Structure 1
């Protein structure tokens, strides 16, 4: 398990600066369908926990889909955390 964690952290250390650039089109392409799924699955959600949030690209999508939700994000990789 420790080797897997170290490998994962090493990957994100190497790729963090490119993550948003490489995944931006992915999130744009899926924004409408993921938003609709969130609104359908949990329209009255008041609390959302995004585990493994990366740089937070999905947070805007979640906030748009569930405007009443209090959103919390956790990212274990220090190099992926922004701000």
Structure 2
């Protein structure tokens, strides 16, 4: 396989990825506490959705409810 793109912007390791609500998008969660929305065709333009202040280890999108569940290293579950 060959790399198609490199998405940069997090200041810590990326621990989780989930498909976004719109086609061609995805979300990433990182050790820097950020959840970022990315577009596959714009790898240099990530949009910070939320900074939870702790490493993000789990993401689950509930598009039918318009909610994002975020699990952190501190054992917290944030609903955005």
TM-score normalized with structure 2 length: 0.22
Greater relative contact order (Cα < 8 A, sep 6+): 1
Between Structure 1 and Structure 2, the one with more strand by share is 2
- Which is greater in Rg? 1
Tell me the TM-score normalized by structure 1: 0.21
